[in-house]
């Protein structure tokens, strides 16, 4: 079916889809850049393992929940991981970059395995907890493989693992509540 200008409807739809996919991908990568910038420059001296999960998992979950893309959290975490490599961000441990990427992959796998479960607040909390708990687990594996003891694991794994899971769950819940409130506000306009 040709239009008057010579372009087919299929070509026009394909072009529009590519543009929206590109915009959505840029948005997801931008979320990752924003997350790393906030993590780098909001150095909260709480001295509690995992507290940055409120920001990191919160923004990662926002990307996952608002996007229709299959690998939305992985795209966001790839943007974050690439940004964390910039010297200006001040990330000194190369494992941090890997953990940023892994948490997005875990989030996407969990979302794909059980999309109906993730619409509940408890499902989102569990997924956020699992995604953020990857950091102490990765540190444990790196310590075992390299012999380099991470200071956060000197007292054992249970405390940092529990707090990472707690803050990851809290960040995911905050993301879900924020999205629901924004959607509800848009319906009343």
Q: How far is the C-alpha of 100 from the C-alpha of 57, rounded, in Å?
A: 10
Q: Which two tokens stand for residue 26?
A: 């840029």
pTM of the full structure: 0.84
> Which residue in 61, 60, 58 sits closest to 81, CA to CA?
60
- Residue 3 within a domain: no
What is the separation of C-alpha 17 from the centre of its chain, rounded to a whole number of angstroms? 24
- Residue 147 within a domain: yes
At 20 the pLDDT is 86
- Residue 93 within a domain: yes
Q: How far is the C-alpha of 56 from the C-alpha of 83, rounded, in Å?
A: 13
**Taking 80 as the threshold, does the pLDDT of residue 113 lie above it?**
yes
Residue 48 three-state SS: coil
Span 69-79, pLDDT tens digits: 889 999 999 99
Q: How many domains does the chain have?
A: 1
Instruction: For residue 67, give its domain range.
Output: 9-187
Span 33-55, pLDDT tens digits: 999 999 888 877 778 888 999 99
- Residue 31 within a domain: yes
- Residue 152 within a domain: yes
Q: For residue 136, what is the domain's CATH number?
A: 1.10.1760
At 3 the pLDDT is 45
Span 81-112, pLDDT tens digits: 999 998 888 888 888 899 999 999 999 999 98
DSSP states along 163-185: HHHHHHHHHHHHHHHHHHHHHHH
- Residue 1 within a domain: no
Name which of 35-44, 50-59, 133-142, 161-170 the model is least confident about. 35-44
At 188, the pLDDT band (50, 70, 90 cuts) reads: low
At 60, the pLDDT band (50, 70, 90 cuts) reads: very high
- Residue 139 within a domain: yes
Average pLDDT of the residues of the chain? 86
- Residue 140 within a domain: yes
């Amino acid at each position: 079916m040709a239009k008057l200008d010579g372009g087919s409807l299929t070509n026009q739809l394909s072009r529009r889809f590519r543009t929206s996919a590109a915009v959505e991908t840029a948005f997801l990568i931008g979320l990752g850049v924003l997350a790393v910038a906030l993590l780098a420059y909001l150095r909260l001296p709480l001295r509690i393992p995992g507290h940055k999960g409120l920001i990191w998992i919160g923004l990662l979950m926002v990307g996952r929940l608002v996007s229709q893309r299959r690998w939305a959290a992985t795209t966001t975490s790839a943007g974050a991981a690439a940004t964390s490599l910039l010297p200006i961000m001040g990330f000194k441990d190369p494992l941090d970059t890997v953990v940023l990427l892994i948490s997005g992959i875990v989030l996407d796998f969990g979302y794909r395995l059980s999309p109906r479960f993730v619409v509940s607040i408890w499902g989102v909390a569990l997924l956020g907890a699992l995604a953020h708990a990857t950091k102490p687990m990765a540190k444990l594996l790196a310590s075992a493989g390299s012999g380099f003891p991470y200071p956060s694991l000197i007292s054992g794994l249970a405390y940092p693992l529990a707090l990472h899971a707690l803050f990851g769950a809290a960040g995911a819940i905050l993301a879900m509540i924020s999205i629901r409130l924004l959607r509800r506000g848009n319906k009343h306009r």
